Amino acid sequence: MSVLETRGLSAGYGKKVIAAAVNIAARRGQMVALLGPNGTGKTTLLATLAGLLRPLAGTVLVNGRDFASYSRLEMARQVAVVLTDRIEPGLLTAYDVVASGRYPHTDLFQRLGPADRQQIRRTMAWVSVESLTDRPFGQLSDGEKQKVLLARALVQEPQLILLDEPTGFLDPRNRMEFMSLLARLTRERGLTVLLSLHDVELALKYCQWVLLIRDGRIMAEGLAELVLTAANLRRLYGLAGTDYNELLGTWEMANDRPPELFVVGGGGSGTALYRLLTKYGYGLGSGVLHRNDLDYQAGRSMGIRLIAEEPFEPIGAAALAAARTELASAKAVLDAGFPVGSANRPNLDLIRDSLHSGKKVFSLRPAPESEGLYGAPAAAISHCGDLLELVERLNKFRDEMGE
């Protein structure tokens, strides 16, 4: 059975419907991400699921029972909610804020017993906020507040936690730790977590299930690996570029300039170059890359013109000819310092041809290695010790070419 289920749910304010026809189900022990553009209704939906807003239509079922029929206390034992802007801390310390989450388990006078206090301390240690115990909540940093609020939700010992964009203020380490902690809670304690996120990579890597919400409607839902496709994300966020890579789970800056430099890469040697040169405004072509190469994946997401070969096949005559044509119109060629093996050896011919025809060649290989690969003509190569030297030389070359 689903811990949380909605049937024909509409959420909004007064008569204004923000999200409609929402039918979702969150299973026990799952991390479910809610993704969608700003202002699309994620917070409104979460607040409705938490019982903070009344549904405008439809029902919310928690453990198979209409949530509207729960008493406040029963609700609090089932569902905890972390919405940062809803707390008015006054002079409360971090400890007080965490302790306030314990009320569903205290007596009539809301007195904390030794077991409650132990639970609070243990949870604060678990979320790594014990050092903040006596600090006024209002004076904490945004990331610290976020962690304290998670601790408060956890001491409530709910079955379901709803969180609104909980990682926005966290640094990378805290973001990973926060998500790992939630993942552990779902695995080890069967907790269900529904959280809104703007970070697609986190959703892909930590959440089993994702809901895409656009214009107040569920646009798609399912396994993260199946739903977080470049096409869905382009539609969800109204993106024009080809900048999300579903295999890597990363975004890339689009390079939409006509190719002026040709990068001979492969084996991951080209990816940093593509990023660097895109930021410096160079149009790029690259090849010959195997379709299973990291460079191919990165280049494809950036919209770089790529000449490709089938995975694990030696580079064939057709791909090589296509690369030669592309290369002929480039102003310069870059040897990314790719590792050379039996499948990609023909790429060396691209550099040899360029040297032979007098085209400018820049390289990230050590000069002696180039000499070994290309012989005496390697003397004409502009060898660069690192990416910084390369980009400086390229910029100079571009200036000299009158761009």
Ligand X SMILES: Nc1ncnc2c1ncn2[C@@H]1O[C@H](COP(=O)(O)OP(=O)(O)OP(=O)(O)O)[C@@H](O)[C@H]1O
- The residues that touch ligand X, with contacts defined as CB under 6 A, are 13, 16, 18, 36, 38-44
348: enclosing H helix or E strand = helix 347-357
Helices (H), 79-238: 94-100, 114-126, 142-155, 172-189, 200-206, 224-227, 230-237
Smaller CB distance to ligand X: residue 83 or 288? 83
Which of 15, 173 has the CB closer to ligand X?
Answer: 15
Q: Positive or negative CA dihedral for 108, 137, 86, 59?
A: negative
We find the least distance from the C-beta atom of residue 14 to ligand X, in angstroms, to be 7
Helix or strand run (H / E) with residue 48:
helix 42-49
Of the pair 37, 346, the CB lying nearest ligand X is at 37
Instruction: Give the start-end residues of each E strand in 28-102.
Output: 31-35, 57-62, 65-66, 79-82
- Report in angstroms how near the CB of residue 323 gets to ligand X at its nearest: 44
CB of 253 to ligand X, least distance (A): 22
Nearest to ligand X of 87, 322 (CB atom):
87
Helix axes 367-374 and 347-357, enclosed angle (nearest 10): 90
Of 41 and 270, the one with the shorter C-beta distance to ligand X is 41
Which of 131, 55, 60, 125 shows the shortest CA–CA distance to 93?
Answer: 131
Query: How much is the CA Rg of the chain, to the nearest whole Å?
Result: 28
Torsion angles phi and psi, residue 50, rounded to 5: -80, -5
Nearer to ligand X, 123 or 167 (CB): 167
Strands (DSSP E) found in 256-369 = 261-264, 284-290, 305-309, 332-335, 360-363
Closer of 11 and 302 to ligand X (Cβ):
11
Q: How far is the CB of 248 from ligand X (least distance, A)?
A: 24
CB 149, min distance to ligand X, A: 16
Cβ contact 33:197 at 8 Å: yes
End-to-end CA distance of the chain: 64
CB of 42 to ligand X, least distance (A): 3
- Report, in Å, the least distance between residue 119 CB and ligand X: 31
